[in-house]
Chain A
Amino acid sequence: GIQVEQSPPDLILQEGANSTLRCNFSDSVNNLQWFHQNPWGQLINLFYIPSGTKQNGRLSATTVATERYSLLYISSSQTTDSGVYFCAVASGGSNYKLTFGKGTLLTVNP
């Protein structure tokens, strides 16, 4: 099956800093999503982005499908951005069986 690698595994920032999270995948994809898992465990959709670029406030994402990677940018980070960020992809005939990366644990200190 498709392999998903996220980097870095852990990231510590001071409030106000910017960061880039990376997701590499081993095959062409027809679905790619970024999620944020908050400290209470809830998984929040950030972006549905199998290709192209999207922005939502301080967050933006870019997927370069031909080169098999996606980037999540967080600007002017806040303590509420802390948590685990997951990339998940689907490939082949089904767009609904997502494979998750192991996540990036982001800690934003005040």
Chain B
Amino acid sequence: SQTIHQWPATLVQPVGSPLSLECTVEGTSNPNLYWYRQAAGRGLQLLFYSVGIGQISSEVPQNLSASRPQDRQFILSSKKLLLSDSGFYLCAWSASYTGELFFGEGSRLTVL
């Protein structure tokens, strides 16, 4: 069966510091991969998605970037964090033929 993991689960970072969140999927090949953010309140915002290695689409211009160095690995990065980057970040995957989405456990980022 397929599994998805992301880490770290929580982190507290000072303003201006770098960020790296990592996500890996097991049990499937060539998945679509996604990064979502959930700020205070409920809404989920799609940040990036990828349909293949090296193919990244950005949905919202911001202080973050994403990379997909391997088929089942997706990384969210920032060179310098802002206070507004605080939130709950969720990695997700879907099979390209259905689009059914499955989420990882989430990473809670607090920027101070």
Q: Which residues of A contact B (CB under 8 A)?
A: 30-31, 33, 35, 41-45, 48, 84, 86, 88, 90, 94-98, 100, 102-103, 105
Q: How large is the interface on B (under 10, 10 to 19, 20 to 34, 35 or more residues)?
A: 20 to 34
Question: Is B103's CB within 8 Å of the partner chain A?
Answer: yes
Q: Is the CB of B108 within 8 A of A41?
A: yes
User: Interface readout for B41-67 with A: 1 if CB under 8 Å, 0 if not?
Assistant: 011101001010000000000000000
Q: Which residues of B contact A (CB under 8 A)?
A: 32, 38, 42-44, 46, 49, 51, 88, 90, 94, 96, 98-103, 105-106, 108
CB-defined contacts of B46 to chain A, threshold 8 Å: 97-98
Give, as a whole number of angstroms, the nearest-CB distance from B34 to chain A.
8
CA–CA, A45 to B103, complex, Å?
8
Q: Is the CB of B102 within 8 A of A45?
A: yes
Q: Is the CB of A43 within 8 A of B90?
A: yes
Q: Is the CB of B105 within 8 A of A42?
A: yes
Given contacts A42-B105, A43-B90, contact A48 B100 (CB under 8 A): yes
Give, as a whole number of angstroms, the nearest-CB distance from A34 to chain B.
11
Q: Is the CB of B44 within 8 A of A100?
A: yes
Q: Is the CB of A100 within 8 A of B88?
A: no
CB-defined contacts of B98 to chain A, threshold 8 Å: 31, 48, 95
Closest 7 CB pairs of A and B: A95-B99, A43-B103, A96-B99, A103-B42, A31-B99, A100-B44, A48-B100
Q: Is the CB of B88 within 8 A of A86?
A: no
CB-defined contacts of B49 to chain A, threshold 8 Å: 96-97
Given contacts A41-B106, A97-B49, contact A102 B43 (CB under 8 A): yes
Q: Is the CB of A41 within 8 A of B88?
A: yes
